Amino acid sequence: MRDNLQFFTVKVGEGSGCLFQPDDSSYSYVLTAKHVVQGIEDIKIERQWINGNGALENEELEILGQPFLHHAPNKDVAIIKVKKVDHIDMLLRADLSTAEMDNWYLCGHPGTRREDSFSYRKNKLRIENSVEVYIEGEIERAVTHSEIVGQSGGGIIKSENSCFLLAGIQKKMAVEDDVESISRIHFAPLSLFDEIIEENRNELSPLFPPYITAFENLLQEIFPFRNLIAKQQLIRNTLTAISEGICAGVTPEKIILMYGKKFLVEGTSPDILYHKSLWKSLLEFFTIITLYGEQIDFEDLPSVHKKRKMFIVDTDNWVKKLEEIYRSDLSEIDKGGAIVICATNENETNKLELSSQELAIMDISVPIDKMNISNTVENPFSDLRVVNIFKFQDCIINNVIQLANITGADSKIKIKELTDGII
């Protein structure tokens, strides 16, 4: 099985680094340790990976300017801007206050492997505790200092269902071999890199993907209408024209500040709040509501949610998460409203909606008096619809014959007539 963590991992001179996509689509970052780059001229950054055919690939990254070093002597972190690297925005920053401590990996290019053509290595570790400004982690299998040399600056990464999380950047072994032999390392949390960015606001962008501060960056990815056999471009253009109007009025960043984590299904990692699937689906959701002629008050989303509310869950099959869905905060949805689900790992879904009859026979062990529901709802299994966000696209794809003769003049009206009430 291919190791996807290798795609985020780079050689930085004699050390390592981790790629990360910030809030600017014109460049990417390499996050590393300050001692890896300080005082060194002509730094070379190289990414290595094994492709799908088992062949080794090497890519030298183009560095943009000088590294940005933290000014504090006790904060061993640095940021290097590089020419934009595609397909790395699936690596999201992790909130260590809520993260699971197990199943992380230190990824890098240790010196012991530099003689080999492929030097990438990962070491499984558990995050332990804070040590001054750093975090301590314990590598699962015993390693010596000499085995880790060269991995300084490497990322502490883990794989989730549909994305990858970055906890920080390795600094060094916790102690030398002749003092302790407990295979522990220290790594810098991302908050230290935030400090570099704050000091260089005119030149650096925050550690969030570009779509967090601008919905516009998602316009080309919403409403893909796979397998739509007719009028695909006109239908997409009609809907994205509505989306553009929404983009002008609000950003994901603003919604996060106002609304926090209320879009997350119970038990979903808070880090999924920055997942692209959520914001693509939410932009589609707002577009559909606007198409139906309803007003969206971004200052008062609970009022919008009386009729329908969208949730995201990190899974490849949303029906398997019904227990968690019914444990979520459903209190904003009035009787007759809809729970609208986006699943991070589903481009399509085999189940578009669950009927009250289906829900009645499913093994959902959440008693009603333990549910967080509106006082207008007596029986959530019959009073609330449960529907997947893809149902809107599915309706258009399977009924496209009814849109075969639409034109730019009437496309919005005809799409609304066909889909009204689907979501």
Q: What CA–CA distance (Å, rounded) separates 81 from 92?
A: 18
Amino acid occupying residue 383: D
Beta partners for residue 58, in sequence order: 48
**What pTM was estimated for this model as a whole?**
0.90
Helical residues (DSSP H) of 182-275, grouped into ranges: 190-199, 232-247, 252-259
Report which of 140, 143, 136, 144 is spatially closest to residue 167, judged by C-alpha positions.
136
| Intervals of CATH 2.40.10.120 along the chain | 4-199
Strands 91-93, 27-32: pairing is unpaired
**The predicted structure's pLDDT at residue 174:** 58
Task: Show pLDDT as tens, one digit a residue, over the chain (423 residues).
Answer: 578 999 999 999 999 999 999 999 999 999 999 999 998 888 999 999 988 888 999 999 999 999 999 999 999 999 999 999 999 999 999 988 877 899 999 999 987 777 778 899 999 999 998 888 999 999 987 666 666 777 899 999 999 888 999 999 999 765 554 444 458 889 999 999 999 999 999 999 999 999 999 999 999 999 999 888 889 999 999 999 999 999 988 999 999 999 989 999 999 999 999 999 999 999 999 999 999 999 999 999 999 999 999 999 999 999 999 999 999 999 999 999 999 999 999 888 889 999 988 988 888 889 998 899 999 999 999 999 999 999 999 999 999 999 999 999 999 999 999 999 999
Residue 105 bridge partners (DSSP):
124, 157
In this prediction, residue 418 carries a pLDDT of: 97
- Which residue from 90, 100, 113, 120 is spatially nearest to 19, judged by alpha carbons? 90
Burial of 132 by CB count in 10 Å (0-12 exposed, 13-18 middle, 19+ buried)? exposed
Q: Which two tokens stand for residue 98?
A: 């809520």
* φ, ψ for residue 188, nearest 5 deg: -90, 130
Say how far apart CA 28 and CA 396 lie, in whole Å.
Answer: 37
Cβ pair 312, 275 in contact under 8 A = yes
Give the residue among 276, 362, 379 at the shortest CA–CA distance from 319.
362
**Six-digit token string for 29:** 């970052």
pLDDT at residue 27 in the model: 97
pLDDT of the residue at 178: 43
Q: Is 183 left (phi over 0), alpha (psi -120 to 50) or beta?
A: left
Sequence-ordered strand ranges (E) for 174-314 = 184-189, 308-313
Q: What amino acid is encoded at 156 in this protein?
A: I
Identify the CATH assignment for 4-199 out of 2.40.50.140, 3.40.50.11900, 2.40.10.120, 3.40.470.10. Answer: 2.40.10.120
At residue 60, the 3 state secondary structure works out as strand
Q: Decide the pairing of beta strands 78-83 and 155-159.
A: unpaired
Give the DSSP H or E segment for 56.
strand 56-60
Per-residue confidence (pLDDT) for residue 181, from 0 to 100: 46
- Residue pair 107/122 in contact by the 8 Å Cβ criterion: yes
The answer to whether 2 and 50 have CB atoms below 8 angstroms apart is: yes
